Amino acid sequence: MKIDKKLIKELSEYLEEFNLTEIEFTEKDTKIKVSKNNVSINNQLTSGNRNIAAPKDNANQINNNNSGKEITSPIIGTAYHAPEPGAKKFVEVGKKIKKGDTVMIVEAMKTMNHVPSTDNGVVKEICVDDGNPVEFGQTLIILE
């Protein structure tokens, strides 16, 4: 089996571009799965399943040593800063918010899920761009 290095590189770039932790590509009997921690290729036609795993270059990973209270995504989906396009954003950097205030919407399976603040504080940083995909547990906002 020949390993398509170009495809693996392209999938790795998608991880960074779309802020994903894992992506999988399947074509016929070959499956390629790339994650932040490893790359694996699984070819179903070989006798027994061959898995090739190699550590991914961690140079591109950002080390976030954020001080403050983090508000994280409760689900996987798409993050939105406002209730509808063109509307006023739920939060802005420097805005004081209370526990329970909606800080963002995460849309999953055509359902808009309001994400409440888990604490009182002032918005220090908004970590996700409007319309970007988010993972479960990913930091959305940091409060001071």
Same domain for 28 and 46?
Answer: yes
Domain boundary among 21, 42, 60: 60
Nearest to 114 by CA among 61, 144, 77: 77
Reported as a single tens digit per residue, the pLDDT across 49-108 is 334 443 333 333 333 444 688 999 999 999 999 998 889 999 999 999 999 999 999 998
Same domain for 130 and 74?
Answer: yes
Same domain for 26 and 87?
Answer: no
- Domain span at residue 39? 5-60
- The pLDDT assigned to 46 comes to 41
DSSP string, 82-116: SSSTTSPPS--TT-EE-TT-EEEEEEETTEEEEEE
Task: Give the sheet arrangement for strand 69-72, strand by strand.
Answer: 69-72, 139-143, 121-126, 96-97
Residue 104 belongs to domain with CATH number: 2.40.50.100
Nearest to 89 by CA among 122, 126, 118, 124: 126
Specify the pTM: 0.53
